[in-house]
Amino acid sequence: MLVSKLKKIYKSNSFPFLVYIFLMICFHFLIQKTGFDDIFFSNACNDTSLWEYLINRYQNWTSRLVIESATVISCGFLPLFVWKCIDIGMYILLLYSISKLIITENKRKLNFVLAGSLLCIPIFILAEAGWISTINNYIWTAATALYAMIPLRKIYNNEKIGIFQAITYILAMVYASNHEQMAGILFIVYACFTVIYLKNKKVKPIILILDAIIIISLIAILLCPGNSVRKVQEITNTYPEYANIGIFEKLQIGLTSMLDYCLVQERLLFAVFIFVITLALWKNANNLKTKIFALIPMGLCVGFKYSNTFLSRVDFIDMEHSKIYLYFKVIVYIAILVSIFISLRHIFSKDIKKCFLAILVFFTGFISRYIMAFSPTVYASGERTSIFFYISMCIVIVYICSILLNRKEERNEQI
């Protein structure tokens, strides 16, 4: 009896979730309350109330009042064990939400792909400013944002949304849209789907409520005096040259600071992402021309990596200050991005809806990190600001794998 139950669990669509949860539990044994931000938030309300602290922060530092409330409570009031339990729940919510949004067929296999992709995100970047503060700002934001997108899927499928579910979506949206990067992502996604649903007369009250929350959050972010004060202080403290940098140099910094992590520092997730794109293009190729095209994304990445390694060993080239090297890097990075977008268009050429969604997901993830070009903390904030971009790559990987599995099944049926 026990063996049959274990076999049933093993074969179930939820088994990848169980593996992921087990690994997350193991990971959370390593987490401690360390880092400057964790210590700061632990002592934030020592001499003041939470309300007074939030008012001061809004006036002098940030518009993230909802996220900061959660972080102050997590660091200063909750036992670490309780926070870890909540955080494991957020990781489960992240996995569940993505699965619910995009996986409809081959659920067990694609849930494994999704879990494996999320595990490729470098964990150490979550400790850059402190485990708790970084995770609350990025993982919790990503989890609640993706959960808040589920109504879009339900309306598309003509599913009913209960009152309790609607309340949870609203609470999730309040938290997620409090983060500047995620508010931008949510605005793009919800604006696109609201227009589509208006055109098809499928807009429901919950969509309009969530639209309103996003717009109110963006207004609060734009009008927050603390954001302006913070920008001035961070220019002085972290990047004094930023005030004199022109628009084109900022655009260049946004691009190179993001893709340097992916290529120069060789992130596994990006390597998997490019490999899956190449594999999908190769499987779809039916002549020499399309096979050559299939190798372009990987060829550009490998070519850049070997070129970068070679140039770094040449004594007379100062890679940190060489403008020629910088121009070379910018051109290659732009070529890689263009090849990715074109590749996605070819991979999903037979499914316009999935093509739109895959490109939208990658584009919004890319923009969420690229807008750091207009922040003086583009370098000081570290790689953690790329988390939303990395998660977007995980989602696209699952989309592509779903196409590959469907094509494999079609071939087997033909045979």
Task: Tell me what pLDDT residue 244 has.
Answer: 86
268-284 helix and 387-414 helix, angle to the nearest 10 degrees = 30
Task: Tell me what pLDDT residue 316 has.
Answer: 53
d(CA 379, CA 250): 12
d(CA 70, CA 175): 9
pLDDT-wise least confident of 109-123, 128-142, 319-333:
319-333
Structure tokens at 298: 């990987």
Task: Tell me what pLDDT residue 411 has.
Answer: 62
pLDDT-wise least confident of 114-118, 260-264, 403-407:
403-407
pLDDT above 70 covers what percent of the chain? 95
Mean pLDDT of 71-84: 95
404 burial type by CB count under 10 A (0-12 exposed, 13-18 middle, 19+ buried): middle
The yes-or-no verdict on residue 415 having pLDDT over 50 is no
Task: Tell me what pLDDT residue 83 has.
Answer: 96
387-414 helix and 80-102 helix, angle to the nearest 10 degrees = 40
Task: Tell me what pLDDT residue 187 has.
Answer: 95
Mean pLDDT of 174-201: 94
Cα torsion 126, 132, 133, 138: sign: positive
* Phi and psi based region of residue 106 (left: phi greater than 0; alpha: psi -120 to 50; beta: remaining): left
Task: Tell me what pLDDT residue 366 has.
Answer: 95
Whether the CB-CB separation of 98 and 139 falls below 8 Å is answered with no
The yes-or-no verdict on residue 49 having pLDDT over 60 is yes
Q: What is the mean pLDDT of the chain?
A: 91
Task: Tell me what pLDDT residue 393 has.
Answer: 97
Mean pLDDT of 3-29: 90
Listed in sequence order, the DSSP H helices in 103-160 are 107-119, 131-148, 150-156
Structure tokens at 221: 């972010």
d(CA 44, CA 82): 19
Task: Tell me what pLDDT residue 314 has.
Answer: 63
Query: What is the separation of C-alpha 147 from the centre of its chain, rounded to a whole number of angstroms?
Result: 13
Whether the CB-CB separation of 114 and 14 falls below 8 Å is answered with no
- Shortest CA distance to 146 belongs to which of 365, 374, 400? 365
pLDDT grade for 203, boundaries at 50, 70 and 90: confident
d(CA 314, CA 301): 20
The yes-or-no verdict on residue 126 having pLDDT over 80 is yes
- Shortest CA distance to 178 belongs to which of 71, 93, 307, 292? 71
Taking the whole predicted model, whether its pTM rises above 0.85 is answered as yes
Task: Tell me what pLDDT residue 318 has.
Answer: 59
Question: What are the tens digits of pLDDT across the range 210-236?
Answer: 999 999 999 999 999 999 999 888 888
Domain boundaries, the chain: 1-144, 149-223, 240-415
pLDDT-wise least confident of 17-26, 154-163, 221-230, 319-328:
319-328
Mean pLDDT of 149-171: 94
d(CA 327, CA 415): 51
**Those residues with Cβ within 8 angstroms of residue 271's Cβ, 6 or more apart along the chain or in another chain:** 301
Mean pLDDT of 62-88: 95
Q: Which amino acid is at 379?
A: Y
Task: Tell me what pLDDT residue 388 has.
Answer: 95
Question: What are the tens digits of pLDDT across the range 312-340?
Answer: 666 555 566 577 888 889 999 999 999 99
Question: What are the tens digits of pLDDT across the range 284-306?
Answer: 888 888 889 899 999 999 999 88
5 versus 259: the higher-pLDDT residue is 259
Question: What are the tens digits of pLDDT across the range 346-360?
Answer: 999 888 888 999 999
185 C-beta neighbours (distance < 10 Å), count? 27
d(CA 261, CA 251): 16
Task: Tell me what pLDDT residue 5 has.
Answer: 84
d(CA 124, CA 146): 23
Mean pLDDT of 397-410: 85
